[in-house]
Amino acid sequence: MSDLPLDQVKAYLLDLQARICDALAEEDGAASFREDSWQREQGGGGCSRVLTDGKVIEKGGVNFSHVFGAGLPPSATAARPELAGRSFQAMGVSLVIHPYNPYVPTSHANVRFFVAEKEGEPPVWWFGGGFDLTPYYGFEEDVVHWHRTARDACAPFGDDLYDEFKAWCDDYFYLKHRDEPRGVGGLFFDDLNRFDFDTCFALMRSIGDAYIPAYRPIMARRKDTPFGDRERQFQLYRRGRYVEFNLVYDRGTIFGLQSGGRTESILMSMPPLVRWDYDWHPQSGTPEAELYRDFLIHREWL
């Protein structure tokens, strides 16, 4: 195997998982994450931590996985066919938080590391990840805070990095069949090896560490906002978009399923309740219409 410091990457990811779970459980105040360790028959395993039916979080999952095998699955070599047939290791933390209150946005974050190896050749490695926000009712101060935190996480590594990763996020989290963004974006990056290993690892850590400072203040600000059945039903309708994206486009979901990962952990990102209404459109002048008009658009927030 390679001389890359894989143990350091793994230790960081496990610590990140624990810190995120502790912070979110503290903010929820009524429930904690239960832990579920698992093994993958083809090699590796992971630890899923799930919180359900909390005071604030209806369902949240924070998953760590470290899997390896003799050959990369098709989803990992589609854009890089020269890697086909290489052995691989992949490790990462992926999370999705679905709050109960419709005024608290859903959030997603992921940081990951891949290395592909072939005897007699140097290893090919890369980092990826990011975080994005999916509100049901839009508040500009929340979205600006989210993007400001994202910008600050990227700032030590280059003046243009936030703009690049923000645009990548806007393009990636886009439902082509709906012709609409999934949410208000954030950061997304993949195949990151343009710097040396230590710098790329530091950038991944900076983005991973920024998730709680980006999300927790929004959760705290909105979690006690009164709401009724109208807001709840709209939240369930919009959650359908989340399901559609994850099953049709999400690279992590596709990679997990193609690589023989644990289905329960791969699909823990799904919301507990969701609805689809045929050909529904928001009524003009309503807060629901405002979400589409002012927030579900490609926009510069800073």
| 112 has binding-site annotation | yes
Given the residues 108, 145, 281, 298, the one annotated as active site: 108
Separation between Cα atoms, residue 208 and residue 97, nearest integer Å: 15
| 94 has binding-site annotation | yes
Position of tokens 């290791």? 89
Count the residues in the chain.
Answer: 302
| 98 has binding-site annotation | yes
Alpha helices in the chain (DSSP H): 6-28, 74-77, 140-154, 161-172, 197-222, 229-248, 251-258, 263-266, 287-290
| 288 Rama class: left (phi>0) / alpha (psi -120 to 50) / beta | alpha
Contacts of residue 143, defined as CB under 8 A and 6 or more positions apart, other chains included, come to: 133, 135, 184, 295, 301
| 261 has binding-site annotation | yes
- Cβ(130)–Cβ(165) under 8 Å? yes
181 bridge partner residues = 174
N-to-C CA span, the chain: 44
| 177 has binding-site annotation | yes
| 65 has binding-site annotation | no
Q: Give one DSSP letter per residue of 150-197, joined into a string.
A: HHHHHGGG-TTHHHHHHHHHHHHSEETTTTEESSSEEEEEEEE-SS-H
Specify whether 145 is catalytic.
Answer: no
| 111 has binding-site annotation | yes
Token output for 183? 């949410």
Separation between Cα atoms, residue 14 and residue 23, nearest integer Å: 15
58 bridge partner residues = none
Residues acting as catalytic residues:
108
Q: Annotated binding residues, as ranges? A: 94, 98, 108, 110-112, 147, 177, 260-262
Q: Annotated binding residues for a divalent metal cation, as ranges? A: 98, 108, 147, 177
Q: Annotated binding residues for substrate, as ranges? A: 94, 110-112, 260-262
